[in-house]
Amino acid sequence: MAGKYQAPRGTADIVPAPYAKEPVFEVHRWQAAEQVFRQVAGLYGYQEVRTPIFEDLDLFLRTSGETSDIVSKEMYDFTDKGGRHVALRPEGTAPAMRAYIEHPMGGQGVVTRLGYFGPVFRYNRPQKGRYRQFHQAGYELIGSPSPLADAEIIDVTVRFFHLMGLADVVVKVNSIGRGETRADYERAVLQHVGGWMADQDGETRAKAEKNPLRLLDTKDPDLRRVLDGLPSILGFLGDESKVSFEALQGHLREQGTAFEVDDSIVRGLDYYTDTVFEVVSAEFGALCGGGRYDGLVEQLGGPSTPSVGVGIGVERALHVAELAGQAAKPKVATRWYVVAATEAARDAARGLARELRARGAGCSLDLDGRSVKAQFKQADRNGAVLAAVIGDDELAAGTVSVKDLVTGEQKTLPHDVVLRIADD
Ligand code: HAM
């Protein structure tokens, strides 16, 4: 039954299990992932924020970065009917910080922990695990300069993956420094790739000069060769950055986080300072990305507010959980299906449905006078586990026949006993 329209390229409908085109788009898996998001938020004290899915374009240009592909090439931006230039959010951190300042949630010496779960948009080439609309679960720890904050965010990240059924994730951490020492390293990178730069067009050169670190996560094989032998950024860190990075590693060891230092992690957004980290899978690339962004709140007109956070790619987490055989099982939301076995029993069937729902027991029923066979078929499609059947005999006796749809076992019980079962 192909209709005239399909979900736009790079997007997917999330639908009940029997209808999903791919297992990761079965809605019960998303409900489970949202549950994990909330459970982790509760375990560490992160409060949820829900920001609009579009913002002033300028918010992203100023923060996430004019030199990042995410902002310069991949944004869904448009001018609305009022002439405002807006963009569908390409990430969650800048909107969360905008909201943090707007309300305002912070203050001198106050630490604020925020979480969010929702769609983000990037106009890139769709492929396995890469979409144009995808979802991020994000956690932001705002207002602490301590490496303990970085360690907490990494712990939160690992906890999220554990609760998704992924026990063995390894976190890759790096420090990209800040200020003068970062500028020294950027000069060293530009010097190292000087010959290559001379052969590039003006736009590529300008972008590289604005943010040389972005060259380090290139997939261009020529540039990769050129980058061979480049000294590590870790050798350039200033004293404060070095001390923080050492302290972070100490805290990670103490809390039992499996991690490795990987000096090739540089991240694709412009706001990072010092700590950056990712969890990477062979099949789907980065499952999450995060780090410290001490200058972002100030950039948005707020007070100096050192902060650290993570964005987890929900589709990718679900893909990996599926591969690992750790997918969530469907939960039965609507346990009962009330079957009217005869025309005369239809009123009583509706009455029983009302009584079940009044007790908080989910139930569904046929509204169109379908055959008993069709009603049982519908019960199956709904995922019901119990059918409450009322026919002429049950009507006369004040009973209900309850059929277990999994085992096939059937018992005829007094009406009030059935209601008591529903209470359990
Ligand atoms: P990001 O690394 O750009 O960071 O995105 C986070 C995660 O989103 C990625 O690691 C990946 O799992 C997922 N992701 C990115 N692009 C796609 C795509 N096209 N399709 C499917 N999944 C994708 C951020 O967005 C930062 N805001 C993270 C952060 C929060 N940093 C500090 N706080």
Which residue has its alpha carbon closest to ligand 1 atom 23?
A: 313
- Residue to mutate (ligand 1; options 91, 161, 217, 265; most atoms within 8 A of CB): 91
Least confident segment among 63-67, 107-111, 126-130, 403-407: 63-67
Q: Tens of pLDDT along 131-179? A: 999 999 999 999 999 999 999 999 999 999 999 999 999 999 999 999 8
Mean pLDDT over residues 245-254, rounded? 98
Closest CA to 173 of 240, 264, 243: 264
Which residue has its alpha carbon closest to ligand 1 atom 8?
A: 313
Rounded alpha-carbon distances, angstroms, from residue 176 to 107, 238, 370, 404: 27, 10, 66, 60
Which residue has its alpha carbon closest to ligand 1 atom 20?
A: 130
CA dihedral 266, 271, 275, 279 (to 10 degrees): -60
Q: What is the pLDDT of residue 1?
A: 64
Query: Is 291's C-beta closer than 6 angstroms to any atom of ligand 1?
Result: yes
Q: What pTM value is reported for the model? A: 0.93
Mean pLDDT over residues 265-291, rounded? 92
Closest CA to 213 of 261, 171, 173, 265: 265
Query: Is 98's C-beta closer than 6 angstroms to any atom of ligand 1?
Result: no
* pLDDT bucket at 71, cuts 50 / 70 / 90: confident
* pLDDT bucket at 77, cuts 50 / 70 / 90: very high
Q: Helix or strand or coil: residue 375?
A: helix
Q: What is the pLDDT of residue 235?
A: 94
Looking at the chain, the whole-number percentage of residues with pLDDT higher than 70 is: 100
Q: Which atom of ligand 1 is nearest to the CA of 64?
A: 27
Looking at the chain, the whole-number percentage of residues with pLDDT higher than 90 is: 80
**Longest Cα pair distance anywhere in the chain, in angstroms?**
93
Contacts of 64 (CB under 8 A, 6+ apart): 70, 71, 90, 91, 93, 94, 269, 270, 271
Q: What is the pLDDT of residue 157?
A: 98
Share the mean pLDDT of the chain: 94
Q: What is the pLDDT of residue 266?
A: 85
CA of 318 to the centre of ligand 1 (A): 14
CA of 311 to the centre of ligand 1 (A): 5
Neighbours of 216 (CB within 10 A): 19
Q: What is the pLDDT of residue 233?
A: 93
Cα angle 309, 313, 319 (rounded to 5 degrees) comes to: 145
CA of 267 to the centre of ligand 1 (A): 9
| pLDDT reading at 79 higher than 90 | yes
Q: What is the pLDDT of residue 364?
A: 97
Q: Tens of pLDDT along 333-392? A: 799 999 999 999 999 999 999 999 999 999 999 999 999 999 999 999 888 999 999 999
Q: Which atom of ligand 1 is nearest to the CA of 138?
A: 30
Cα angle 12, 335, 333 (rounded to 5 degrees) comes to: 35
- Residue to mutate (ligand 1; options 266, 269, 293, 297; most atoms within 8 A of CB): 269
Q: What is the pLDDT of residue 267?
A: 81
Query: Is 313's C-beta closer than 6 angstroms to any atom of ligand 1?
Result: yes
Q: What is the pLDDT of residue 268?
A: 74
